[in-house]
Amino acid sequence: MLDVSTVLVTGSTGFVGSRLVSTLATEGRYNITAATRQSGSVSSLEKVVQVQIGTIGPSTNWVKGLGGQDIVIHVAAVAHMPSSCDDVLARYQSVNVEGTRNLALQAAKAGVKRFIFLSSIGVNGNASSLPFNLIDDVNPQEPYAESKWHAEEGLKAICSVEGMEFVILRPPLVYGPNAPGNFGTLTRWVDRSLPLPLGAVHNKRSLVALDNLVDLIITCIDHPGAANQTFLVSDGEDLSTTQLLQGVAEAMGKPSRLIPIPASLLQLGATLLGKKSVAQRLLGSLQVDISHTQKRLNWTPPLTVKQGLQRCFPDHQD
């Protein structure tokens, strides 16, 4: 096992980062530094020191956060930016690519042993007829995924020269309590008991529960098999959009109001309305093969999909 006592977490007030910091603090094995853009609420946690870094970019000074750190877990990123933003590409480049490279280089110079980077399955692509695995060629289709790919390559290049270990994690859609993005949209639909024309969708999509992702990140902190590896992650169960909505409704204690409209008709309608990308996320398949992750790390997702969905809505559980 890697000898580790101190961990720096970026994005520590975000969806993934906040759960990661609180879980690490509860375990009590590490001294944690939580990097934030501005003063936040993480400093009240035991064994957590908050460091205000400001905006992440190519010129960010990380000296306040990196001193004495063994591990950096880089969760912070720009995501979910509308394509209508004029500077979307520049923002992705500045924060996700150059910001990651800048942090990695300063971390290596500061003596950090291992740099864990939260990437995206979008690096592999946004659709799959067979489960993605590590031998597949990368195929990012969107600016966010492209920025993650370039950040991965920059990180590996720096680690190769500086001797710092890297770990890259590529999750698909992450769901959990108050999740942003597509999962948050789906839950709002179900919560409103809206009739949805998604009762006959037979795709297969891999997801990952927030707590499963956090568990894997923590496993990678000091596991010897994680050094200089890229891992795909999911719950190990694939669901159709219909099954996901049914599961969300059950976890929320809501009726499942799904109308069985053929997926081909939905695809046609979305194309005519110029919503092909939305249709792809709802109707297309995206599967992830996590066998390498499981074997290399002797890791199994601790939560089933049903358990992960139940944790999203604790007020509705008995």
Q: Classify residue 20 by burial, with Cβ atoms within 10 Å: 0-12, 13-18, 19+.
A: buried
Does 144 qualify as catalytic in the annotation? yes
The active-site residue, picked from 30, 92, 144, 175, is 144
DSSP class of residue 122? G
Q: Name the β-bridge partners of 229.
A: 167
186, two tokens: 């789906």
Q: Which two tokens stand for residue 117?
A: 């980077």
Q: For Cα atoms 299, 304, 310, give the angle at the middle one, nearest 5 degrees.
A: 135
In the chain, where does DSSP find H-type helix? 15-27, 63-66, 88-91, 99-109, 143-162, 181-191, 210-222, 241-252, 263-272, 276-283, 291-297, 305-312
Distance in angstroms (rounded) separating the CA atoms of residues 29 and 51: 20
Catalytically active residues, by annotation: 144
